[in-house]
Chain A
Amino acid sequence: SQQGEEDPQALSIQEGENATMNCSYKTSINNLQWYRQNSGRGLVHLILIRSNEREKHSGRLRVTLDTSKKSSSLLITASRAADTASYFCATADAETGRRALTFGSGTRLQVQP
């Protein structure tokens, strides 16, 4: 099944630095979403970018989408220790008609204070 794959699997940075995570997927999509998961908790929706959009901002988050390369990136600027979490991309498949998101395996972000 089509699935987003995040890269890198793990990322460790210092507080104040920027963190960039990438997601690749396999089929045409309607939209792509990013979620955060703190340890032992449920996922929290961060941002949604539609297939006809190229870039979207929300606070310290910047998401880009390149449908020709079937890839997306999530940039967190001026990271904080509280940003430590796993980040997942999820895609809404436009080809199979599946009415549910497909999630990638995630990037574990560690922000050192």
Chain B
Amino acid sequence: NAGVTQTPKFRVLKTGQSMTLLCAQDMNHEYMYWYRQDPGMGLRLIHYSVGEGTTAKGEVPDGYNVSRLKKQNFLLGLESAAPSQTSVYFCASSPSRTSYGYTFGSGTRLTVV
């Protein structure tokens, strides 16, 4: 099925460990986004990309890095995980800037202990 696929779906990290979350889309979308969602809150933008080879910071970029080496993939890295990064991470993609609805992945639930 066409869409956005996130891996892994669940992960538990120890403080200080690093990891990479992978987002893949097969809709040939130019724009990709990483958001985090905390309990009872909306989504906050971490980083986004407007095309292959580009990245930009969102509202809450500290502690995260991203890469978009291929158009279909958008990677989110945590260099040194902290308990404050415990959250559900959502990847989304869209054909253009903001004129279309986003297609979201099913999320990665990350716990940092």
Question: Is the A/B pair a real complex?
Answer: yes
Q: Which residues of chain A have a CB within 8 Å of any CB of chain B?
A: 1, 3-4, 30-31, 33, 35, 40-46, 48, 88, 92, 99-106
The proximity string for B residues 80-113 relative to A, scoring 1 for CB distances below 8 Å and 0 otherwise, is 0000000000101000011111111111000000
Given A30-B98, A30-B99, are A100 and B107 also a contact pair (CB < 8 Å)? no
Residue B58 at the chain A interface, CB threshold 8 Å: yes
How many inter-chain contacts with C-beta < 8 Å in the A-B complex? 64
Given A45-B101, A105-B40, A105-B41, are A99 and B48 also a contact pair (CB < 8 Å)? yes
Give 10 closest A-B pairs by Cβ, nearest first: A45-B101, A92-B98, A42-B104, A103-B42, A103-B43, A105-B42, A43-B104, A42-B106, A100-B48, A99-B97
Q: B107 contacts A41, CB within 8 Å? A: yes
A-B contact pairs, 19 of them (CB 8 A): A1-B59, A35-B101, A42-B4, A42-B90, A42-B104, A42-B106, A43-B43, A45-B103, A92-B97, A92-B99, A99-B50, A99-B56, A99-B98, A101-B98, A103-B35, A103-B42, A103-B44, A106-B41, A106-B42
